[in-house]
Structure 1
Amino acid sequence: MKKSEEKLNNDEPQTSVESPFIKQEKSKNIILKWLLIVSVFFISILVSLYFLSSYSLINGIAVEGTNEVYDQNVLESSEVSPGDSLWRTYFNKREIENRIEEQNKQVSSAQLGFSGINNFVVQIEEYETVAYLTQDNQYKKILENGTILEEVVPRPSTNQPILSGFTEGTALELILREYSHLNEQVKLLISEIEYQDNERNSMLVHVYMNDGNEVLASIPSFSERMNYYPEMVRAVDGEKGLFDLEAGAYFIPYDSEEESEELEESNIIDD
Structure 2
Amino acid sequence: MSNKEGKLTESEKLKKSTDSSVIHLKQAKKRLINWGVVVGVFLFILLISLYFISPYRLANNISVSGSEEVYDQVILDSSGLTSGDSIWEEYLNKRKIEEKIVQDNPQVAQAELSLSGIQDFVIKIEEYKTVAYLASDNTYKKILENGNILEEAVPRINAHQPILTGFEEGRPLELMIDEYEQVDEEVQMLISQIDYLQHDRNDMLLSVFMNDGNEVLVPIPVFAERLNYYHQMKAAVDNTTGLFDLEAGAYFIPFTSDNEDDPEEIEGFE
Unaligned runs of 5+ in 2: 1-15
1:42 is matched by which residue type in structure 2?
L
Tell me how far apart the structure 2 counterparts of residues 36 and 183 of structure 1 sit (CA, whole Å). 69
Give the structure 1 partner of residue 265 of structure 2. 267
Tell me how far apart the structure 2 counterparts of residues 250 and 233 of structure 1 sit (CA, whole Å). 11
Tell me how far apart the structure 1 counterparts of residues 31 and 158 of structure 2 sit (CA, whole Å). 80
Match status 1:224 vs 2:225: yes
2:78 is matched by which residue type in structure 1?
S
> For 1:205, what is the secondary structure of its paired residue?
strand
Q: CA deviation at 1:60?
A: 2.0
Structure 1 window deviating more from structure 2 (232-241 vs 102-111): it is 232-241
2:266 is matched by which residue type in structure 1?
I
Give the structure 2 partner of residue 189 of structure 1. 190
Count of aligned pairs: 253
> For 1:19, what is the secondary structure of its paired residue?
helix
2:225 is matched by which residue type in structure 1?
E
The Cα RMSD (Å) is 2.2
Aligned ranges for residues 225-244 of structure 1 at < 5 Å?
225-244=226-245
Q: CA deviation at 1:33?
A: 2.2
Give the structure 2 partner of residue 3 of structure 1. none
Residues 254 and 47 of structure 1: is their aligned pair in 2 closer, same or farther, counting only changes over 3 Å? same
> For 2:189, what is the secondary structure of its paired residue?
helix
1:86 is matched by which residue type in structure 2?
I
Q: CA deviation at 1:65?
A: 1.6
Kindly provide the CA deviation profile for residues 187-236 of structure 1, in whole angstroms up to 9, marking residues without a partner as x. Answer: 23221001111222121111112222211110111122222333333333
2:162 is matched by which residue type in structure 1?
P
Kindly provide the CA deviation profile for residues 134-170 of structure 1, in whole angstroms up to 9, marking residues without a partner as x. Answer: 2222112222222222222233243222211111221
Unaligned runs of 5+ in 1: 1-15
Give the structure 2 partner of residue 252 of structure 1. 253
Q: CA deviation at 1:31?
A: 3.1
Residues 22 and 128 of structure 1: is their aligned pair in 2 closer, same or farther, counting only changes over 3 Å? same
Tell me how far apart the structure 2 counterparts of residues 268 and 74 of structure 1 sit (CA, whole Å). 52
Tell me how far apart the structure 2 counterparts of residues 226 and 183 of structure 1 sit (CA, whole Å). 8
Residues 21 and 246 of structure 1: is their aligned pair in 2 closer, same or farther, counting only changes over 3 Å? same
2:263 is matched by which residue type in structure 1?
E
Residues 37 and 227 of structure 1: is their aligned pair in 2 closer, same or farther, counting only changes over 3 Å? closer
Give the structure 2 partner of residue 160 of structure 1. 161
Tell me how far apart the structure 2 counterparts of residues 184 and 43 of structure 1 sit (CA, whole Å). 61
Match status 1:24 vs 2:25: yes
Match status 1:39 vs 2:37: no
Tell me how far apart the structure 2 counterparts of residues 157 and 41 of structure 1 sit (CA, whole Å). 62
Residues 20 and 228 of structure 1: is their aligned pair in 2 closer, same or farther, counting only changes over 3 Å? closer
Q: CA deviation at 1:116?
A: 0.9
TM-score by length of 1: 0.84
